[in-house]
Structure 1
């Protein structure tokens, strides 16, 4: 894959260690990341990339973020900007219904923490091969 075609995933999590680990794992898989710690900033970055016609290939968002704009609250505005958006919910609360009923809530997939390189390889990479999610 050439650099100009390199896909970028937006990662939204308020834990810097999680941002680092997901970024490192995705880089190992040949995917760039942009990271932010708030849902508000994440939504603004997503909107900006859509306007620039350089959309993110996917979004990984934590269920609980500061400011009451976590993954559950972000899914509707993200899908309104791009109905084909690939949005993954993540949480350390493995018993949260959002992780087990992710499709009913509009998410593409669920990644329980701790997230591993293998989880990303199995769940995220195959979906990025399908360009249908890119406007």
Structure 2
């Protein structure tokens, strides 16, 4: 059974490319473009008894709910879920001190297949 990954990013190209990379790496990806879509997919998966193994949240969604807000809501219903924050702004406090914001790890942009796989595996099996 492939690990289920939920990816939130407002850039269609990033979603398309990352979806392809995740499939090539053997994961089962779901793509969401907004915080609301992400929360709905998260809730539905839990209700269906097939929760996501890892959630990747873009830190900033212009004009919408970004990773900071989404992770807080997700943590209220599942404090143990693995959530990666994704951003190209490495100076943002939510990247520098990701755990303080409820994230399990960081996926820095731009990322490639190896970096993506490494970030996911780092939260799936900490210490490896």
Q: What is the TM-score of this pair, normalised by structure 1?
A: 0.86
Name 1:42's counterpart in structure 2.
38
Name 1:69's counterpart in structure 2.
65
The whole-number CA distance in structure 1 between the counterparts of 2:104 and 2:63 is 23
Name 2:56's counterpart in structure 1.
60
The whole-number CA distance in structure 2 between the counterparts of 1:24 and 1:15 is 14
DSSP 3-state at the match of 2:17:
helix
Name 2:86's counterpart in structure 1.
90
TM-fit CA distance, 1:92? 2.2
Name 2:108's counterpart in structure 1.
112
Tell me whether 1:19 sits opposite 2:15 in the alignment: yes
CA contact (8 A) 2:105 2:123 kept: no
TM-fit CA distance, 1:112? 1.3
**Which ranges of structure 1 fall in alignment gaps of 5 or more residues?**
131-135
Q: What is the TM-score of this pair, normalised by structure 2?
A: 0.90
TM-fit CA distance, 1:67? 4.3
The whole-number CA distance in structure 1 between the counterparts of 2:53 and 2:92 is 26
**Which ranges of structure 2 fall in alignment gaps of 5 or more residues?**
none
DSSP 3-state at the match of 2:37:
helix
Name 1:28's counterpart in structure 2.
24
CA contact (8 A) 1:64 1:71 kept: yes
Query: Among residues 82, 88, 101, which one is paired with 2:97 in the alignment?
Result: 101
Tell me whether 1:128 sits opposite 2:124 in the alignment: yes
TM-fit CA distance, 1:30? 0.4
